[in-house]
Structure 1
Amino acid sequence: MNVMSVESSITKQIVELIKTEAWDAGRHLPAQMLADRLRVSRQPVNDALALLHEKGIVTREHRRGYFVARPLTESMSEIVSHLGLAESDVVTGTYFRIADDLLRGSLPQEFSEQLIKTRYDLTATQLNAVLGRIAKEGWAQRKPGYGWAFSAMLTTPDSLLQSYRLRLALEPAALLEPGFRLERSVLEQCRATELRLLHGGIESATADELHDRGVRFHESLVEASGNAFFIDTIQRVNRVRRLLSYRSMAQRERYPEHCRQHLHILDLLERERNDEASAFIREHLLHTMSSLAKIEDVLRAQRNSP
Structure 2
Amino acid sequence: MKKNIFKLTTLCSFLLAGFIYRENNSISKTYIDYNSDKVPYNFEGFKILQISDLHNKLFGKNQKRLLKKIIQETPDIIVITGDIYYSYTHKIKNSLIFLKQISKLYPVYFVTGNHEQRDKNWEKHSKIIKSFGIKIIDNKMEKLRKKNDFIQIYGLKDPSFYDKKTRYIIFEEKLKHIKKYIDEDKLAILLSHRPEKFEIYVENKVDLVFSGHAHGGQVRLFGKGLLTPGEGFFPKYTGGIYKKSDTTMILSRGLGRTIFTVRLFNKPDIVVTTLHTKK
**Does the pair score TM above 0.5?**
no
Q: Which has the higher helix share?
A: 1
Structure showing greater relative contact order (alpha-carbon pairs closer than 8 Å, 6 or more residues apart): 2
Q: Which has the higher strand share?
A: 2
Larger radius of gyration: 1
> What TM-score do you get using the length of structure 1 for normalisation?
0.25
